[in-house]
Structure 1
């Protein structure tokens, strides 16, 4: 469990001892101790992903009323949910790392949604006072511009894939979230030391496939670039909407339509795979939609810009992005 705790300590604090109250108590056992009675099983898909180690599935059984078991033999993991007692029993092996992280992330996000938090599919960095979010479709260049901010402008790492947002008095406060960065070969090869370290870890990088991507630990990025993690909360200063095109010079233009951002808000209740467990029922869309409207209204307090071109973010362009008075297409 040490490596799992380390994964979350980039953004969360771990305090020894048992709190007076908790949303769940988790007990950890060896997978070898698992003793399953005869159960009727049904197949369940936990997480769909093109990367095999992140594609999670298993069997679901109901040992008795108020209990639910998930068995994933391919990862040597079993999860017993005891809803009435708010307890979770984990039976883990050396292959359980990703699945346990995914479970904790899933439970945490469900709780955050009940607290009014929105989850934005975005990478993000901070200058120490405010946060810049990079929002867009897959392959648009979120990680490319994130690394530009981290490496060339000494910003601090906030998040590589998801950003938590809360609206307080009309202002958007952003929080980081621990995750695995996904970088394309083309982006990786721009940074020789990163490419060398990934090759040493056994990754194969093919320059002929710049669009191909790999997932790896955020601690590897920390080791390569010696940047700092910062969790927040901090005000959201700007939103970058990237479109990386190798043939064009990089330029920016101000946007005003909040839907360019709100369409990337992820709601657990809308995820068709959310029913893989029932320990914490997802907040309904009826609960979440007013929060999205609040975000839409509050986006007027921060700058939204489309960034189109090669993915090179020099100081002049960064100034245009963070300067609310800059409106011209570069």
Structure 2
């Protein structure tokens, strides 16, 4: 017994057939994806995306040959790299991640994959689906940028800045002034559409920002996280932390872009939001942070992207330069509620070209 789901992002699709006995393990993965992706029932014969089968780990037989070690995901430091055992079996690559009791059985030509899961597979299956969809979206002509984001019901506001500039702090200021949360760190767009898509991630929040928000501080205590004395040190929080801890609504993608705000919370003077000149270098294009080339999932993702990606837009050949107003958020503390409300009320969507976005 199984069911098939269409997992869609922008123009891209993964067709996932889930065995009944794997439903419990997959449920938290779908909860992670659904605020950003469309996840709907699908007739298996109608699937147009990358075919994925998900089965319980008990159905997998470990190959008898000795495996070699492979890097599945490169972490920020050596102790956070994810490693797996790899076998070549006929025309397939089999990778077992022992730390999460998850197995990926990948066709070498990128045509399909079979994942065997346990109740501890959620993080690595989520990572794989994010990376697979990222590859499909980039090959389809899209661009990922490094920006947090909020929404005002009509448009998205992208929050940019150098590392430590206060993008998350600015986002929390705006949501506590009435904005919806949209994206923690990543936005995606097709350069010719003007539409912005949020992307699932686990928000990295500085301890200084957490301490300034009592509800977040209480939530981290409940999670058993020990506060760092360094205000600039970041901690990864659950993907739904803003709506569970702060009761903040999540805007559904896509949204047209309405404005860009440069975060600079260390600037002197009181907290304020002012018009600013564009700083195009802050619209940093992101590359997918996978493992080393040729390792882990990388060969499969390369082949699958070229086999299953659907064209979504004209590939970006120069820097992204949307025709929207720029602002800067300056100073320590929090802008007044009146200033935040006035700012949000001025944000309107820029005209966009209508395209099919693949979402229901």
2:220 matched to 1:193? no
Are the structure 2 counterparts of residues 225 and 321 from structure 1 closer, same or farther at C-alpha, using a change threshold of 3 Å? closer
Write the mapping of 1:129-144 to structure 2, written as runs, cut at 5 A. Answer: 129-144=154-169
Are the structure 2 counterparts of residues 75 and 219 from structure 1 closer, same or farther at C-alpha, using a change threshold of 3 Å? same
Are the structure 2 counterparts of residues 205 and 246 from structure 1 closer, same or farther at C-alpha, using a change threshold of 3 Å? farther
Q: Taking structure 2 as the reference length, what is the TM-score of the superposition?
A: 0.76
What is the alpha-carbon distance in structure 1 between the residues aligned to residue 175 and residue 319 of structure 2? 30
2:285 matched to 1:249? no
User: Is contact 2:109-2:300 (8 Å) kept?
Assistant: no
What is the alpha-carbon distance in structure 2 between the residues aligned to residue 62 and residue 39 of structure 1? 10
Write the mapping of 1:18-97 to structure 2, written as runs, cut at 5 A. Answer: 18-19=43-44, 20-37=46-63, 38-50=65-77, 55-65=81-91, 67-84=92-109, 86-97=111-122
Question: Secondary structure of 1:279's match?
Answer: helix
What is the alpha-carbon distance in structure 1 between the residues aligned to residue 215 and residue 268 of structure 2? 26
Structure 1's consecutive aligned runs of 4 or more residues displaced over 6 angstroms after TM superposition are: none
What is the alpha-carbon distance in structure 1 between the residues aligned to residue 314 and residue 88 of structure 2? 33
User: Is contact 2:264-2:329 (8 Å) kept?
Assistant: yes
The equivalent residue for 1:212 is 233
What is the alpha-carbon distance in structure 2 between the residues aligned to residue 51 and residue 125 of structure 1? 33
Q: How many residues align?
A: 309
2:289 matched to 1:265? no
Tell me how far 1:30 sits from its aligned partner: 2.8
Write the mapping of 1:108-257 to structure 2, written as runs, cut at 5 A. Answer: 108-151=133-176, 153-168=177-192, 172-206=194-228, 208-245=229-266, 248-251=269-272, 252=274, 254-257=276-279
Q: How big is the alpha-carbon RMSD for the aligned residues of Structure 1 and Structure 2?
A: 2.9
Question: Secondary structure of 1:255's match?
Answer: coil
The equivalent residue for 1:7 is 32
Are the structure 2 counterparts of residues 133 and 27 from structure 1 closer, same or farther at C-alpha, using a change threshold of 3 Å? same
Q: Point out which structure has higher relative CO (alpha carbons under 8 A, 6+ apart).
A: 2
Are the structure 2 counterparts of residues 242 and 199 from structure 1 closer, same or farther at C-alpha, using a change threshold of 3 Å? same
Q: Taking structure 1 as the reference length, what is the TM-score of the superposition?
A: 0.82
1:196-244 Cα offsets, whole Å, 9 max, x none, are 12211211224x3211221121323202221211132222111122122
Tell me how far 1:309 sits from its aligned partner: 2.4
Tell me how far 1:182 sits from its aligned partner: 1.2
Which structure 1 segments of 5+ residues have no match?
A: 325-330
What is the alpha-carbon distance in structure 2 between the residues aligned to residue 83 and residue 210 of structure 1? 45
Counterpart pick for 1:316 among 309, 331, 339:
339
What is the alpha-carbon distance in structure 1 between the residues aligned to residue 293 and residue 169 of structure 2? 30
What is the alpha-carbon distance in structure 1 between the residues aligned to residue 202 and residue 40 of structure 2? 23
Which structure 2 segments of 5+ residues have no match?
A: 1-25, 307-312, 348-360
